[in-house]
Amino acid sequence: MLIAQNLSKHYPSAQGWIKSLDEMDLEVKAGEFLAIRGHSGSGKTTLLLTLGAMLRPSSGRVVFEGQDIYQCSTQQRAAWRAEQIGFVFQMFHLMPYLSVLDNLCLHGGAKAGSTQRADTLLDTLNLKHRVNHLPHQLSAGEKQRVAMARAMMASPKLILADEPTGNLDPRHATEVCEHLRRFCDSGGTVILVTHGELASSFADRTIFLEQGRLLETVDSHVQTAP
């Protein structure tokens, strides 16, 4: 489904070029739950954003269902993101001035059926009672579930989650991971960046990064730290 070939991302700095991704190869199958782990600065988020058509790599290709996404125009990539990808971030990134329902409806708010879809998702994520609340009125766990619901609004094929459990207690973190797992089980694909073992325990496969390179791959739910 998603293939990264020879992916590199370099940033200039005062000390010279920083290799955030270094000739990385990766393949993610449809319906797979992939966890990406590594120390801070290992390139996890850069990889995630590059896979999500948000960050053009310095070299290499990202191919989604046969299409090299960085060969597309900016507008095409934006449209592709809107239709195929849902993002979930550690800091939730909800619009602070919009209600829970309005945050969900950012995805095609004017389209018929979007409110109904939002209703269903909020019901599924047990947020029915928070529909008209603003983000600052929600708990961290609720915020993250709203962010997940927003990511799922456009029925994407792929969810890219950047440390979605980073700000949550274990109970809420588990809850979020369970929802991601469920999304995967229903045919979706998840790529999740995480520091902790809890989130990766829900993944089918975990890859470990170090200095922008793929260090190790661990399948299924039996992993050992590198």
Partner 1 sequence: MGGTQEKPRNLMLGLIFKEMWFRKMQALLCLCGLAAVISLMTAYLTTEKAADRETKRITRDLGFNLRILPKETDMDLYWFQGFSDQTMPQSLVEKLTQSEGVFMTYNHLMASLRQKISLGNGSAILVGVAPTVTSADKKKRPMGFSLEPGTVHLGYQLGVRLGLKGGDILQVKGLSLKVARVMVEYGNEEDVFLYTTLQDAQTVTGLEGQINEIKAIDCLCLTADQDPVSILRAELEKRLPEAKVIQDRVQADARARQRQMVEKKFSFLSPFLMVAGAVWVAVFAMLNVRERRSEIGIWRALGKSGGMVATLFLGKALLLGGVGALIGFTVGNQLAQAVGPEIFQITAKAIRTEWSYLFWALVWAPLLSAMAAFIPAMIAASQDPAYSLREF
* Site of interaction with partner 1 (CB under 8 A): 45, 49, 52, 54-55, 74-75, 78-83, 87, 89, 91, 93, 95-98, 101-102, 105-107, 109-110, 112-116, 118-119, 122-123, 128, 131, 162
Report which DSSP code applies to 95. Answer: -
Whichever of 106 and 198 has its CB closer to partner 1, that residue is 106
Question: Could you tell me how many helices (H) and strands (E) the chain has, helices first?
Answer: 7, 10
- Measure the CA–CA gap between 58 and 56, rounded to whole angstroms: 7
Whichever of 1 and 131 has its CB closer to partner 1, that residue is 131
Strand ranges (E), 53-117: 59-64, 67-68, 85-89
CB of 218 to partner 1, least distance (A): 26
CB atoms within 10 A of CB 205: 18
CB of 4 to partner 1, least distance (A): 16
Whichever of 45 and 200 has its CB closer to partner 1, that residue is 45
CB of 221 to partner 1, least distance (A): 29
CB of 33 to partner 1, least distance (A): 20
H/E segment holding residue 73: none
Contact criterion met (CB below 8 Å) for 21 and 212: yes
Whichever of 153 and 218 has its CB closer to partner 1, that residue is 153
CB of 63 to partner 1, least distance (A): 19
- Measure the CA–CA gap between 105 and 94, rounded to whole angstroms: 12
Q: How far is CA 30 from CA 21, 133, 156, 176, in A?
A: 23, 35, 12, 20
Map tokens 């975990």 to a residue: 206
CB of 101 to partner 1, least distance (A): 6
Whichever of 81 and 205 has its CB closer to partner 1, that residue is 81
Strand ranges (E), the chain: 2-13, 16-28, 33-38, 59-64, 67-68, 85-89, 158-162, 189-194, 205-210, 213-219
Whichever of 150 and 205 has its CB closer to partner 1, that residue is 150
